[in-house]
Chain A
Amino acid sequence: MICVENLTFQHPHATAPVVEDVTFRLEQGRLAVLLGPNGSGKTTLFKCIAGLWKASAGKVRLDGTELLALNYRQRATLLAVVPQDHTPPFPFSVTEAVLMGRAPHIGLYAAPSSVDMEAVKEALEAVGISHLADCPYTRISGGERQMTLIARAIVQDAPIMLLDEPTSHLDFRNQHKVLEMVRRIGTDRGLTVLMTLHDPNLAAVFADQMIVLKNGHIVADGQPDIVLNEQTLGLLYDVSVGFVENEGRRFAYIKANTLLC
């Protein structure tokens, strides 16, 4: 469970907060999407919840414990973060990269044991990239790298998973594949999942809850079919939005010629 209470974040020396008085609640075992245009404070809110940035005011509670009362290791056992696509400086193998997820469970002076290796093997199987186990992590595709990072979050064995724009560098098919995978893993393991996304249609397909952010404030919070309407999306992106319905699913689209006026 994630509980954010009156969270405000302001950069030192900045005149206005990036995120102001944000409050929401995500129940255990649910999948929520944080939606908002560029510059809405999504990433800031994400970093505050991940404990990487310290909020200027307000609280983040994870399963009832306050985030800032925990040290890094304790946080990492409660919360696994899947970062955006990135390139490490050294070409670790996929197995070595996933193994790093065991860090909070391994003693300071200890090295990973066979139990940890077993967890890695299982996670690689769960995301379907066992065949890449020995490949350099720097030489696999973006979709495979995202799967590797998800496997790393799995072995971290935390009840909450945060994903920062997991689809940002992926093609059409891989976007769906990754999100499908995240939802399946979330359901199988009873994880609470929070991710940021840019595409409202993708969010509508996979989310149980949508939290919509604009200019650092929450403008809507609830089930996707209620939150996603012409008015909210229009306000959010400053465009005129329409919906089409097909095979029981609703898709938002931007109406022609409403962008540049």
Chain B
Amino acid sequence: MRIKSAIIMSSPFMAAGMALFWGAYDLSPPQVLDVLRTMFSGANTPEAAIILDIRLPRIILAGMAGMALSVSGATLQAVLRNPLVDPFILGISAGSAFGCAIAIGFLSWLPLQVAAFVFGGLAVLLACLMARSGGEISRLSLVLSGVIVSAFFTALLSIVKFVVDPLKLQSIVYWLMGSFALADWHQVKTAGIGILLGCFPVYLLRWRLNVISMGDDEARSLGVNVSRKRIIFIACSTLAVTSAVSVSGIIGWIGLIAPHLIRMIAGPDHRRLIPLSMAGGAAFMICADTVARNLAGLDVPVGIITALAGAPFFIYLMKWGGRESWGQ
């Protein structure tokens, strides 16, 4: 178990290291190493610009987004006691998509990232308010209102798509598929703050997720204030995921399967599951993004790669390897 954990924890760094050597612009490994060696000397060569200002921020951003999606998936699966939950269950994807669409379509003064972030958070807030009755938020009504809010924002998105200028429609559709093609250091900073702020409390509180996943009554009789903790966990994952989505678009699938993959390898204890999901999700996303930008002559949306690569791998583990990852 120690060795497995160590491998998973170091995987994002290995993936990032390897990803630096691949890209659209042909650089030989010695050239890359050369740039890395002289990284802090402030050399102003085109090679340095490609590696340090294009590839490196993109890799870091992909890693952070993968971490955010995966850890939020693991958190929400425990909080809602449902292994089928992904980080978008409470309406983040539909809300952000709508925000992005109106920013691209009508409000060109509004930065896309801001719109996606605000509307993603708004959707979750609406879902929580709808699910609230008598001061309590029950987990079944939360899932249900998430579905309703998603449907509502998807309908709004459809209206925008229907009336908007076809050229703008193209960028909306491209954004919806998810991509890190526009990554730069500014995005790393802005999204990074939100992602780290969201992930850190979850990391600290991770053992409590075990208790909460046993059910409301049981967690209460074990001394956990379930309602308050649930709000904290939902707020944190929402912050992390909307921050990621605001710079990457909607990258599906990874938040559902990464926690399951880790659970099959390392078991369901959230003390291990949370840090390993962070690392595993980051490594998975870096690999998927590296494939996305090298697969064809053009930048393929990374969401397509995560689904294409994730599904068969998941089926393999489910059928032939690993531990069971949920009860029954």
The CA-CA distance from A111 to B328 in the complex, in Å, is: 27
B204 within 8 Å of A (CB atoms): yes
A100 within 8 Å of B (CB atoms): yes
Name the interface size band of chain B: 20 to 34
A111 and B271 contact, CB distance less than 8 A: yes
- Which B residue sits closest to A137, measured CB to CB? B327
A interface residues, how many (CB within 8 angstroms): 38
A83 within 8 Å of B (CB atoms): yes
A253 within 8 Å of B (CB atoms): no
B205 and A52 contact, CB distance less than 8 A: no
Q: Which residues of B contact A (CB under 8 A)?
A: 78, 81-83, 204-208, 210-211, 213-215, 217-218, 220-225, 263, 267-269, 271, 323-328
A26 within 8 Å of B (CB atoms): no
Q: Which of A88-147 contact B (CB under 8 A)?
A: 88-93, 96, 99-101, 103-104, 106, 108-112, 136, 138
Which residues from B are CB-within-8-Å of A47? 217
B213 and A89 contact, CB distance less than 8 A: yes
Given A83-B218, A103-B211, A111-B271, decide whether A88 and B223 contact each other with a Cβ distance below 8 A. Answer: no
Q: A74-B223, A79-B221 provided; 9 other pairs, C-beta below 8 A?
A: A52-B220, A87-B328, A90-B268, A91-B327, A96-B210, A96-B268, A101-B222, A103-B222, A111-B206
A86 within 8 Å of B (CB atoms): yes
Interface of B is mostly: loop
B223 and A72 contact, CB distance less than 8 A: yes
Chain A CB count within 10 A is highest, among B213, B325, B327, for B327
Given A88-B213, A90-B263, decide whether A111 and B207 contact each other with a Cβ distance below 8 A. Answer: yes
Which residues from B are CB-within-8-Å of A83? 217-218, 221
The CA-CA distance from A100 to B270 in the complex, in Å, is: 12
Which residues from A are CB-within-8-Å of B323? 91, 136
Proximity string of chain A (14-51) to chain B, C-beta cutoff 8 Å, 1 when within and 0 when not = 00000000000000000000000000000000010011
The CA-CA distance from A103 to B207 in the complex, in Å, is: 9
Which residues from A are CB-within-8-Å of B324? 91, 136, 138
The CA-CA distance from A235 to B206 in the complex, in Å, is: 51
Rounded to whole Å, the gap between the CB of B77 and the closest CB of chain A is 8
- Which B residue sits closest to A81, measured CB to CB? B221
Which residues from A are CB-within-8-Å of B211? 100, 103
26 contacts between A and B (CB under 8 A): A50-B221, A52-B220, A52-B221, A72-B223, A73-B225, A74-B223, A75-B221, A81-B218, A81-B221, A87-B328, A88-B213, A88-B215, A89-B82, A90-B78, A90-B268, A91-B324, A91-B326, A91-B327, A99-B210, A100-B210, A103-B208, A103-B224, A108-B208, A109-B204, A111-B271, A138-B327
